[in-house]
Amino acid sequence: MKPNTISEPNINVALKEIQDFSKIAVSVDCVIFGYDGKNLNVLVLESDMDPYKSQWSLIGDLVSPDEDLDQAALRILRERVGFTDVYLEQVKSFGSLTRHPLGRVITVSYYSLISKVDHMPSAVLPLPAKWVNVYDIKKMAFDHKEILDAALDRLRKRVRYIPIGFNLLDPEFTLSQLQNLYESILNQTLDKRNFRKKITAMDFLTDCHKFQQEVAHRPAKLYKFDIEKYHALEASGFVFEL
């Protein structure tokens, strides 16, 4: 643990030539989560690239020199699958030497949350893209399973401390739908009464004064997530925790 000397200047201290651009490409890969009212899904493509032909891959692309990372992720979501205004969060970067068969590609992973999955069945999506139940995916192309796992892990942590789950639901939803969503993400069952107590105790759900239609059972009340109320609460020290 004896410190050396600083021999050469480094990139943060003084000039260093970065002309050769180090022969590393940078990409962004998006883990797009969607919820169909029943299961947590992820949007995948079928890879055409050897040696991963016909395995699922995430949706990604190279970062172009004139866009930052978030912009690249948003562009990918827009260009590849037509999603705009989605919740987006960077997860981490993957840089194994052999992770991409075409060469050295470091990828920055993001996850995003999409609502109304049921309104976008795979038929409407560009052909090879498909919603797949997260828990059915055992293997993917490249290191994408590892990326998916990291994103899911992150989502599970986040979802308990910030109210982002609502991004996966329709604007108006029932408490049971919300609970099911949480159960899908956390992969565990929750107690109905305790869940409702907790959620309604924090005061950012608005009663829509409407009920579910056309269900073959007692219809449930519809609620909306009131983001302004939430921000007000947050500002006065309240922290969301599930």
Binding site for DNA (CB under 7 A): 174-176, 191-194, 196-198, 211, 214-221
Torsion over CA: 54, 118, 85, 137 (sign): negative
Q: Nearer to DNA by C-beta: 26 or 190? A: 190
Q: How many residues bind a copy of itself (CB under 8 A)?
A: 77
In whole angstroms, give the CA distance from residue 42 to residue 120.
13
Based on the number of CB atoms within 10 Å of its own CB, is 234 exposed (0-12), middle (13-18) or buried (19 or more)? middle
Q: Is 145 in the site for a copy of itself (CB under 8 A)?
A: no
With tokens 């828990």, the residue in question is: 135
Distant-in-sequence, close-in-space partners of 44: CB < 8 Å, separation ≥ 6: 56, 57, 58, 59, 129, 130, 132, 137, 140
Q: How far, in whole angstroms, is CA 27 from its chain's centroid? A: 17
Binding to a copy of itself (CB under 8 A): which residues in 159-188? Answer: none
Per-residue x/- mask for a copy of itself, residues 26 to 45, rule CB under 8 A? xx-x---------------x
Min. distance of Cβ 234 from DNA in angstroms? 16
Picked from a copy of itself, DNA, none, the partner binding residue 141 (CB below 5 to 8 A depending on kind) is: a copy of itself
220 binds, among a copy of itself, DNA, none (CB under 5 to 8 A by kind): DNA
> CB–CB of 27/105 below 8 Å?
yes
CB 27 to DNA: min, Å:
40
| From 51, 54, 102, 237, residue interacting with a copy of itself (rule: CB under 8 A) | 102
Q: Which does 49 bind (CB under 5 to 8 A by kind): a copy of itself, DNA, none?
A: a copy of itself
**Per-residue CA distances from 151 to 48, 118, 210 (Å):** 23, 22, 35
Nearest approach, Cβ of residue 91 and DNA (Å): 27
User: Which SS3 state, helix, strand or coil, does residue 157 take?
Assistant: helix
Q: How far is the CB of 218 from a copy of itself (least distance, A)?
A: 32
Dihedral pair phi/psi, residue 67, rounded to 5°: -135, 145
The reply on whether position 14 binds a copy of itself by CB under 8 A is yes
For residues 34-93, which are near a copy of itself according to CB under 8 A?
45-49, 57-70, 72, 78-85, 90-93
Could you tell me if 92 and 150 are in contact, meaning their C-beta atoms sit under 8 angstroms apart? yes
> Per CB under 8 A, does 105 bind a copy of itself?
yes
